[in-house]
Amino acid sequence: MARCSVCGAPAVAYIRYQRRYLCRDHYLEFVESKVERAIMRHRLVGKGDRVLAAVSGGKDSSTLLAVLSRLSRRIGFHVVALYIHLGIYEYSEKSREASIRLASQLDVPLIVFDLNEVLGAGIPELAKASKRPPCSVCGMVKRYVINAAAVELGVDAVALGHNADDIAVYNLKSFLNQDLEAISKLGVKTESIPGVAVGRVRPLYYVYEKESFLYSLLAGLPFLHEECPFVERRQMEVELKETVNQLEDKRPGLKLQMVSKLAKRVEDYPKPKGSIGRCPSCGLLSSGGECSFCRVTRRALGRPMGPVVREWFRRRA
């Protein structure tokens, strides 16, 4: 039986790019110290800061919240979790359940924002009315609600559960499309724009997807194993993911190199053109004119709902 390279206890994981076996406890410590190093190196969160962690009920956001909650005691910051109920039938019910159990197990305050309750419509209705694919409307709605929550709650940063595999695949895809502006958005953090947008941080930037999965299993975290029924498997992304995994098999540590190099060079990529302004309806970030959230909700529900969302969070601040 393989033994932990640190303490000699039975091993549960082999880290190929470090040629180390780890037992359960040292595995959890390995992932936590990766996240802690990212936080320190990139100054993602500091002592006394308030961080809003977006949770979806999935494995990555469960790992994110668990690791942040442990590190918050060590570093001295505060974590609040936000779950957005998207109104996607059974899937949303189960993911809400998993998020509530997770937050209570970790003893982290959780805010549940229910689209159906606040707007009177969920993602299926908004997608139908706007004639856009559910995933694209969903991404836009989540970005809006998370930012509105962060602005109204007055937090210092929003933490997202993107892992190293997500970043490596999007980086490669954007490079193949020569979409250099998209690459400029793949850094470890974005800066806040006072009153308009709160900066986002990616504490799992250097954590592989399978490392995040194993962490959530070994730490006994509740998470939902099924995927959203609307998930779109874009063929190119599936193939790129396979390719990156095959390369990682041949060259252990390749994903880590990809994201480390990107983190160093991301500032050199051109930023998206267009002015950064305020949406005339809700006052939050817009790249010109009314923001997408206010536009889509105006079309679907007869009025822009950004102010309603802001007010909902303002009452909870």
Give least dist CB 14 to ligand FES, A. Answer: 32
Contacts 24+ apart (CB under 8 A), 215-220: 215/27, 215/28, 215/31, 215/63, 215/66, 215/67, 216/59, 216/62, 216/63, 216/66, 218/12, 218/24, 218/27, 218/28, 219/28, 219/63, 219/66
Cα separation values, 202 from 129, 166, 236, 247, 312, Å? 32, 11, 24, 24, 26
What track of x and - describes contact with ligand FES for positions 169 through 208 (by CB under 6 A)? ----------------------------------------
Give least dist CB 22 to ligand FES, A. Answer: 32
Give least dist CB 163 to ligand FES, A. Answer: 16
Q: Does 123 bind ligand FES (CB under 6 A)?
A: yes
The DSSP H or E segment spanning 219 is none
Q: Which CB atom, from 213 or from 230, has the smaller least distance to ligand FES?
A: 230
Q: Which CB atom, from 79 or from 138, has the smaller least distance to ligand FES?
A: 138
Cβ-based neighbour number of residue 35 at 10 Å: 22
What track of x and - describes contact with ligand FES for positions 68 through 107 (by CB under 6 A)? ------------------x---------------------
What's the token pair of residue 103?
């937050």
Residue choice 111, 129, 135, 217 for contact with ligand FES (CB under 6 A)? 135
Give least dist CB 85 to ligand FES, A. Answer: 11
186 and 167 Cβ atoms separated by less than 8 Å: yes
Q: Which CB atom, from 86 or from 158, has the smaller least distance to ligand FES?
A: 86
Which of the residues 210 through 269 are near ligand FES (CB under 6 A)? 228, 230-231
What DSSP assignment string belongs to 30-83?
HHHHHHHHHHHHTT-S-TT-EEEEEE-SSHHHHHHHHHHHHHIIIII-EEEEEE
Give least dist CB 128 to ligand FES, A. Answer: 13
Residue choice 102, 138, 201, 305 for contact with ligand FES (CB under 6 A)? 138
Could you list the residues that contact ligand FES (CB under 6 A)? Answer: 86, 123, 134-135, 138, 228, 230-231
